[in-house]
Chains A and B, each alone.
Chain A
Amino acid sequence: MKKIFFITIFLIFSLTQKSYGYSSDPKQFISEIVEEAKGILVESNTKEFKTKKLSEMALKTVDIKGVAYYSLGKYRKELNDEQLKEYMLLFEKYFLKSFTSRLTDYSDPKIEVLSVEILNPKYTIVKSLLLATDKKPEVKIEWRVYTKNPDKPLIRDLIIEGLSLARTQKEEFTSVIESNDGDVTKLFITLKEFIAK
């Protein structure tokens, strides 16, 4: 009886690990994400379903905290603990909305994962190609994978045709703050407006 119980527990644990876990190899990690995204973005799925599933995927595979810090640049040192907490909550909502909105318009994207380039123990770049369609040209996509914890790689940036989305976001945030005389709370208001629209 005990034996059956342990086997059952082991099976449940294994299955749970398999359905939530990703490979620790950066190239395989990205391949798995691409496959998962393809499954979510099939044409028959509703936009709400795609948004929900993509958000779940992003929460597991993207270093949202790291991207949030990066996007704030030099201004993150100016925030007190309470402001930082508020910023992190706002950023996560902003990021998920922006991330899912960019992707939900794609149906059945064909992405080939091509190669990897290890920059240092903390970063690996995985190179891939979004294949051309009748309407859209071929697009090179590079994934900046944060590998400080080698067992749990996380995405920190998408570099599309050499253009970094994280850098663009950071410069956008800086512009909002600087056009409001360095007042970071104005960025919070802008983020709230974006989330609410």
Chain B
Amino acid sequence: MVKKVFYILCLSLFFQISTANAGSEGSEELSKSNNSAEECFEGFSRAMFKFNHGLDKVIFKPVAKGYRALPAPIRKGTGNAVDNLRSLLTLSNNLLQGDLDRAGNTVARFGINTTAGILGFFDPATKLGFEDQGKEDFGQTLGTWGADSGCYFVLPVLGPTTTRDAIGLVGNVFIDPVYQITHNTEIRNGVVGNGNYSEHNYYYYRTTGAVDFRAKNIESFDSLEENSIDLYASLKSLYLQNRKQKIANSTSSVETQDDSDWEEIDTN
């Protein structure tokens, strides 16, 4: 069933990609294009946003605060270990994007951190010159292939997304080695599978990653919440800017922020 849905979504995306490519005259133009995405179901999305916000107040934030109480080296190590496992999904996407340089860096980091870094708890790879080049997911891969973001909407629990990124979420399942190993406990064709793991391991890892992320952003989110006049719109803007930057694999705002709307404003 999931596969069927995935293929249908891929097919619809194919038409989107074709349209996006037809309308674009180069990667520069594409990367600097306006980062707005059409709202498809704004009423539903705002309701989901309220639901998620409530859930965050009652569950996620208190859990993140509890996690924050752990000693800093434990938190740092846990974050490193989760990132190390997550890098396998990044590797799949590096390869799908044809980015062999980054794929090589991801492999080196995973190898060094899993061994010398004791299952990823420490990060000796960075000290050896293999710096973290950021996470990749299938939504980003679709973006690099030219897929437009499509509609913006908010999913329950999972939060903000777009049509492209929602398809990416499903796609991640198929190309994430951690998911495949933990969900295929019996050896199939000798390719994947390990009886030592179960699906629970995958969800523990993903939940820990989410808690670690929330704990690192407690103050930032509090500040955003306190200083926003429309928190839903703020998060939408930040989400879309962030995705655009990640798809462009850029650390420079000069490459991703559209300057044209500043040009006409002269004040001195």
Query: Which A residues lie at the B interface, using CB under 8 A?
Result: 63, 65-66, 69-70, 73, 98, 101-102, 105, 117, 119, 122-123, 125, 134-137, 140, 142, 144, 146, 148-149, 152, 154, 156, 159, 161-164, 167-168, 170-176, 179, 190-191, 193-194
Contact = CB atoms under 8 A, between A and B. Distances in A.
B267 A66 contact: yes
Given A70-B261, A163-B242, A172 B228 contact: yes
A135 B220 CA distance: 11
Which secondary structure dominates where chain A touches chain B?
Answer: mixed
Interface in B208-255: 216, 219, 223, 226-230, 232-234, 236-238, 241-242, 245, 250-254
B264 to A, nearest CB: 9
A77 to B, nearest CB: 10
A125 B254 contact: yes
B47 to A, nearest CB: 14
B265 interface: yes
A156 B72 contact: no
B254 A119 contact: yes
B262 A123 contact: yes
Given A66-B267, A167-B241, A171-B233, A102 B253 contact: no
A162 B238 CA distance: 9
B268 interface: yes
Contacts of A69: 265, 267
Contact of A105 (B223, B233, B236, B250): B223
B237 to A, nearest CB: 4
Those 9 A-B pairs whose CB atoms lie nearest each other, nearest first: A175-B233, A171-B237, A162-B245, A159-B253, A168-B237, A66-B267, A172-B233, A98-B227, A134-B72
A162 B245 CA distance: 7
Task: Give the one of B233, B256, B261 with max A CB within 10 A.
Answer: B233
B235 to A, nearest CB: 9
B194 interface: no
B254 A190 contact: no
A128 B196 CA distance: 46
A106 to B, nearest CB: 9
30 contacts: A70-B265, A101-B226, A105-B219, A117-B252, A119-B254, A122-B263, A123-B262, A134-B72, A135-B68, A142-B252, A148-B268, A149-B268, A156-B262, A159-B253, A162-B251, A162-B253, A162-B256, A163-B242, A163-B245, A167-B237, A167-B241, A167-B257, A168-B234, A168-B237, A168-B238, A171-B234, A171-B237, A172-B230, A172-B237, A175-B232
Contacts of A73: 261
Contacts of B267: 63, 65-66, 69, 146
B223 A101 contact: yes
Given A123-B259, A135-B68, A140-B251, A168 B268 contact: no
Contacts of B25: none
B257 A164 contact: yes
Contacts of A167: 237, 241, 257
B68 A164 contact: no
A148 B250 CA distance: 27
B266 interface: yes
A113 B262 CA distance: 24
Contacts of B228: 172
Nearest to B241: A163
A119 B259 contact: yes
Contacts of B229: 172-173, 176, 190-191, 193-194
